[in-house]
Amino acid sequence: MWLVKAKPFFVLGSLAVLIQAVSGWWDVFSHRIEFVDEDPLLNPAHVGLFAGVLLLSVSVSRKAGGPVRPSGLGLLRLFVIIQLMSGVANEIIHRIPHLEAVLDFYIHSLFTLGMLLASLLLFVGASLSYLVTGRVGRDLVMLWSISMSGAALWLISSGSILYLFHQNMTATALMLGFIASIILNTATAASMRVGVAALTSATYFTASYLVLVLYAGVNPYPPSGPSTVLLVESMVALIAVKAGRVKTSLLSGGALYGLLTEIIYYPMLGRPWTVIEASMWGLIGGILGALPILLLGGHISQLYRSKIPVV
């Protein structure tokens, strides 16, 4: 019953952070394409960002019970306040050139941090809430929330990594692999359904492809992520259920998620290193991303005793 009461919170919150994540990517490239010398208040990307903040504010105002304890809900409200304050500050400093030169990076970083923490809290909250109920395969609303908040977390994290470490191949490949592994492995382990990680991946790749290729004009790359993720998910489920080796399946899945992320992204990144180098670091990042999930291996093993159904 408590999960049913909390559904509106997770649905609205997950949709809000996904809107913010897509708008954040859009905003970065809009300043390279349309708004190079100016930053108008009604920049469509800014409208999307504030629409996400507004929807997130609505979600935290509801009396969501159960899995969202008062401390967790309080943290999310804090992240909303951080976004509101930094968003308003951003609009102010853009009208004061000498302040913009000094504070622009820090205010944008604060807003991004608010989005990142909000999406992380929602993703972890939705995953744990679904996991502890044991309602395997019967709550598509919560599975949707896991996928949407996971895609948002992936978009914000990878966007930040590419922005901050674009000149460091090792750090970029390692962290992209780590993020893909931990998010997709968490979605698989929490939902116990083949297809949830693939839906997360499909949402992520659709959003990034629309912004990067159709809007920013990056060289087209095959959007093959969801299909490869679905194959890895199926392998994880097969090893976990048929062979009963849950930890092995999750570690293997994490490694493949990291590896495949680099192979899929390599044509788009266009960095001055070979695909083998990028894939090697992505593989290592994927293994590291699987390790936190393995700490829950004992509990997950009990839940994997039943066959994992396909969405």
What confidence tens digit (pLDDT) does each residue in 39-76 have? 666 778 888 888 998 898 888 875 544 444 444 677 88
> How many Cα atoms are found within 13 Å in the side-chain-facing hemisphere of 12?
19
CA distance 83 to 49: 9
Q: What is the pLDDT of residues 189-203, one digit of tens each?
A: 777 777 888 889 888
Task: Measure the CA–CA gap between 120 and 154, rounded to whole angstroms.
Answer: 9
Report the predicted TM-score, pTM, of the whole model to 2 decimal places: 0.84
Lowest mean pLDDT segment, chosen from 85-94, 126-135, 281-290: 126-135
Residue type (1 letter), 285: G
What Å distances lie between residue 218 and 19, 131, 185, 227, CA to CA? Answer: 22, 39, 29, 22
Over range 250-257, report the average pLDDT: 79
Query: pLDDT by residue (tens digit) across 170-179?
Result: 788 888 888 9
285 in Cβ contact with 173 (< 8 Å): yes
